Amino acid sequence: MQLNKKCRTLVSEIDVLLNDGIELSGDVLHYIDSTFEYPTVKQLEQILSDKDNLEADVLCELIFYPDEFIQMRFENILEENSFSKDDEINIVRYLSGKGFATKLYFPDDRGILDARAGESVIKAFISRLNIKKQINEKVIEAVNKNLNCRLKRIVKVHLRNTAFLFTDNRVDFLCCFFKSGIIRDNNFIQYFKLLLGFLGEIGKDEDIRSYLTAKKIKSIQEIEKAKRILLQLKRDNIETMMMRNIYMPAINVEDEKEKIILIDKIMSAVF
């Protein structure tokens, strides 16, 4: 089948990725070893070729999961082009007919495995590239103008992976965020990821400053509640507290403290 120019450009870059091969990440290797009991390359090849093994389908999809480093390879193409649902369908059909195979490199000394993906895995791979997602032009301009080359692509990948819409309140806040001095902080990516999580929760017309303030207050209250219950545990046993309907809050105090620090950093940088 014939592809339009932008689809051919994307497919060409996918071909480069497949020709280079994929190094299995530590997480994928851990899944393989814990699920299949440290298989050899030959055993793993047999597992992947077993069409009746449901776990093999899950493994194949995991192997071909495009992590953020793979996504970064395609970001320039996706930024320069606008892809539609039809483009996505055509790319999947083309790759399914052409073949989707690569060499898998193990991070240990097990060797190299030749792997091939079927149409369902190819569809999942393309879907996770989020090629149809369009990042707001003002946000892209702020990223390109203020961030260094090392950060630009990873930030764009995270923006492309978001599920929220680029509403006015989100766009304005993100532009201010990228123009602030926080971009020079060593923990910038950590702040940015936390911010994206917050932006996914807010409403279309919600005031972001008020929202962040409320989140900070809630974290403080949860920490204080946890402290009170821990003090009470020194006086009463757990059974007595449960009879009184007093339960330990399901929070990590250190995580909540870290969240407060990050919120303060973000707010002081933007407002």
Q: Calculate mean pLDDT across residues 224-252.
A: 66
Q: Calculate mean pLDDT across residues 195-199.
A: 94
Full-model pTM: 0.84
Q: What angle do CA 29, 48, 24 make, to 5 degrees?
A: 25
pLDDT in tens, 33-58: 898 888 888 888 888 887 777 778 88
pLDDT of residue 242: 60
H/E run at residue 104: strand 101-105
Query: At how many degrees (to 10) do helices 149-160 and 68-80 cross?
Result: 90
- Percent of the chain exceeding pLDDT 70 equals 92
Arithmetic mean of pLDDT over the chain = 89
At residue 247, does pLDDT exceed 60? no
Q: Is 36:12 a contact under the CB 8 Å cutoff? A: no
CA distances (Å), 187 to each of 93, 180, 195, in order? 41, 14, 13
**Phi and psi for 147 in degrees, rounded to 5?**
-95, 150
At residue 119, does pLDDT exceed 60? yes
| Strand 112-116 relative to strand 101-105, pairing | antiparallel
Q: Where are the domains of the chain?
A: 5-128, 137-270
Q: Which residue has the tokens 């932006």?
A: 199
Q: Calculate mean pLDDT across residues 128-134.
A: 95
